[in-house]
Structure 1
């Protein structure tokens, strides 16, 4: 039995997604959109503080480290590109939900969590406070593009 659990058992991340969807649905019903967004951004910041990045010398080193953390969290993967006056983050494989009525709102809200994560991770590497992560584009069903640039 011990062998079965140590080699065959895989943790399924769908359970956390279902719980999170229910929490966000309830928040969406009981708070304004800006209150929900502010709260979820802070959730991302808190996650980034719990799963912090080390000081990276280069953007490519930061890219590798962020992807390692994203993989552990089950949050997909990203590509990070220097675009002169901003950083573009192309995020792939965000968690997908089955609920067709809430799917669009879910991806929007989960992207806000990701903004909090990215914002905090860049701060941890020394990025100045005037640079902020924003959602540039949401690509259904599970991708998003973020910009990290001056406000």
Structure 2
């Protein structure tokens, strides 16, 4: 069930509960296993596809401004414990800077998160921008800038 108030961020009820404490460990182990069994391109494609699935939980097809978009996506990230995003419009792209994405724990857990998050967020944000009517001529990329993941959607 979705929230009824259009000003309230809409997030699927499947994401309203706090993730279990072991989720970070489990995701890290899955990422390590995938990395050992798949090529880099295969892993990238898998995480992009998972990101697109995540985007389906927060529909943005009725969104017309970045403020509403930011509120909805940050409701999801807060529920998942994945930090928050700041969205800005720059000369040639919409830029999302997301902090607090991965667990601040041992490198054994944090390193796989840092590897899987760029393609995962690339797929998630690309799907959201397409829902909002983005042109196929624009591309979405994601890369780490220290502890911040920067997602760019543009030329």
Q: Is the 8 A contact 2:28 2:113 kept in 1?
A: yes
Q: Write the distance in 1 (CA, Å) between the matches of 2:82 and 2:137.
A: 26
Q: Write the distance in 2 (CA, Å) between the matches of 1:110 and 1:136.
A: 9
Q: Write the distance in 2 (CA, Å) between the matches of 1:79 and 1:67.
A: 9
Q: TM-score, normalised by structure 2?
A: 0.79
What displacement does 1:52 show? 2.1
Q: Is the 8 A contact 1:13 1:74 kept in 2?
A: no
Q: TM-score, normalised by structure 1?
A: 0.81
RMSD, aligned α-carbons: 2.0
Q: 2:138 aligns with which of 111, 117, 131?
A: 131
Q: Is the 8 A contact 1:134 1:146 kept in 2?
A: yes
Any unmatched runs of 5+ in structure 1?
Answer: 1-9
Q: 2:75 aligns with which of 48, 53, 68?
A: 68
> In the alignment, does 2:109 pair up with 1:91?
no
Q: Give the match for residue 77 of structure 1.
A: 84
What displacement does 1:100 show? 1.8
Q: Write the distance in 1 (CA, Å) between the matches of 2:26 and 2:68.
A: 33
Structure whose CA Rg is larger: 1
